[in-house]
Amino acid sequence: MTLRKAGLAAATALVLSLTATACGGGGSDSGSGSDKINIGIKFDQPGLGLKTQDGEYTGFDVDVAKYVAKELGYDEKDIVWKQAPSAERENMIANGDVKFIVATYTINDERKKRVDFAGPYLLAHQDLLVRADDNTVRSEEDLNDSKMKLCSVTGSTSAQNVKKDFAPKANLINYGGYSECLTGLENKAVDALTTDDSILAGYAAQKEHQGKFKLAGLSLSDEPYGIGLKKGDTELQKQINDALKKMVEDGSWEKAAKKHFGPADYKYEAAPEITETS
């Protein structure tokens, strides 16, 4: 074996990786300029925060965020949308990656140790999504039955509620996302998908799902959605609270709720009182 060959051999591994790099360009968009505002939302939640095929963002959370941003003095085109996965929300706020987060973010004490909230802007309840022709579930008691096949998302609060609180006997399967549960519901492998009714309504309202699924209408828990912001930023908290109040008063809130939840026949709660003040 000559040294030249050896060099060739050593180079191959490198070349392999280089060719891969060549195709891996692009990606990071321009950072936040001084007049831009970064807002964290969900990208995969129909009806609340969804990145559509055209790369646009729609949903109730998105509309609330837009309204608040407008009240804070930002134009809609200055908004930079950031994906805020559940496990990342506190990190993103604490790091200042985003100004605030509107992403089905339930206010609770554990989270308040690391972030502050404004709002709430929506009061959701844990509920069930069932097939449109299924009338077996009428009350909370029906759930606690080993024949009840429930589906939820791994690690979510709803899944933990089912196990610990109201239906420890139910047959519960957890998936990584809601779509897998919907496939199961369609296939009749599960009887109900359980999570916040606002999220369920978003799915039920999609055009592919209309007429297939319905909400059972049980209020199994209270989930006040807040806008997460940096701990101790009382100035911003007050501004956002004012913006939310105004949004309710001028009817924009009702309009947004009707637009995103209406098609699902979801009887959303009226806009909640602001509780998170300092």
Partner 1 sequence: MFDFLESGQYDVLGAFWVTVQLTFYSAIGSLIWGTVLAAMRVSPVPLMRTFGTVYVHVVRNTPLTVIVMAASLGLFQTLGITLTGSDDFEVIGFRLAVLSLIAYHATFVCEALRSGINTVPVGQAEAARALGLNFSQVLSLIVLPQAFRAVVTPLANVLIALTKNTTVAAAIGVAEAALLMKEMIETESDAIFLVSAMFAFGFVVLTLPTGMLLGWVSKRVAVKR
Partner 2 sequence: MSNLSVLYDAPGPRAKARNVLYSVVFVVLLGLALWWVLDIMADKNQLDAEKWSPFVSDGRVWTTYLIPGLLNTLKAAALSILIALPLGAVFGIARLSDHRWVRVPAGAVVEFFRAIPVLLMMFFANAAYAQFTDISSDVRPLYAVVTGLVLYNASVIAEIVRAGILSLPSGQTDAAKAIGMRKGQIMVYVLLPQAVTAMLPALVSQIVVIVKDTALGGALLGYMELLSQVRLITANYGANTIAAFTVVALIFVVLNYLLTSLASWVEGRVRRAKRSTGAVLHADTNTEMEFDEPNVAS
Q: Which residues bind partner 2 (CB under 8 A)?
A: 1, 3, 5-10, 12-14, 16-18, 20-21, 23-29, 31, 43-46, 50-55, 82-85, 87-88, 91-92, 94-98, 176-180, 182-183, 186-188, 203, 206-209
Q: Could you tell which of partner 1, partner 2, none binds residue 173, using a CB distance below 5 to 8 A set by kind?
A: partner 1
Closer by beta carbon to partner 1, 89 or else 214: 89
Identify the H or E element spanning 152: strand 149-153
- Tokens 């009702």 correspond to what residue? 254
Q: Could you tell which of partner 2, partner 1, none binds residue 172, using a CB distance below 5 to 8 A set by kind?
A: partner 1
Closer by beta carbon to partner 2, 40 or else 272: 40
Size of the site for partner 1 (CB under 8 A): 27
Identify the burial level of 188 via C-beta atoms within 10 angstroms of its C-beta, where 0-12 means exposed, 13-18 middle and 19 or more buried.
exposed
Asked if 113 is part of the footprint of partner 1 (rule: CB under 8 A), the reply reads yes
- Tokens 């509309």 correspond to what residue? 63
Asked if 175 is part of the footprint of partner 1 (rule: CB under 8 A), the reply reads yes
Is 42 within 8 Å of 199 (Cβ atoms)?
A: no
The backbone torsions φ and ψ at residue 4, rounded to the nearest 5 degrees and listed phi first, read -60, -45
Closer by beta carbon to partner 2, 153 or else 274: 153
For 227, the 3-state DSSP assignment is: strand
Peptide bond into 120 cis (omega under 30): yes
For 256, the 3-state DSSP assignment is: helix
- Tokens 């908004």 correspond to what residue? 79
Write down the least CB distance from residue 73 to partner 1, Å: 31
- Residue 251, by phi and psi: left (phi above 0), alpha (psi -120 to 50) or beta? left
DSSP letters, 40-98, are EE-SEETTTEEE-TTS-EESHHHHHHHHHHHHTT--GGGEEEEE--GGGHHHHHHTTS-
Q: Could you tell which of partner 2, partner 1, none binds residue 277, using a CB distance below 5 to 8 A set by kind?
A: none
Asked if 230 is part of the footprint of partner 1 (rule: CB under 8 A), the reply reads no
Q: Could you tell which of partner 1, partner 2, none binds residue 114, using a CB distance below 5 to 8 A set by kind?
A: partner 1
Asked if 191 is part of the footprint of partner 1 (rule: CB under 8 A), the reply reads no
Contact set for partner 1, span 127-166 (CB under 8 A) = 146-147, 149, 154-157, 159-160
Single-letter amino acid code for the residue at 175: Y
Q: Could you tell which of partner 1, partner 2, none binds residue 34, using a CB distance below 5 to 8 A set by kind?
A: none
Closer by beta carbon to partner 2, 27 or else 251: 27
Is 92 within 8 Å of 39 (Cβ atoms)?
A: no
Residues constituting the chain: 278
Measured distance CA(91)–CA(3) in Å, rounded: 51
Which one of residues 187, 207, 251, 277 is an interface residue with partner 1 (CB under 8 A)? Answer: 187
Write down the least CB distance from residue 159 to partner 2, Å: 15
Closer by beta carbon to partner 1, 50 or else 170: 170
- Residues at the site binding partner 1, with contacts judged by CB under 8 A: 86-87, 90, 110-111, 113-114, 146-147, 149, 154-157, 159-160, 171-176, 180, 183-184, 187, 189
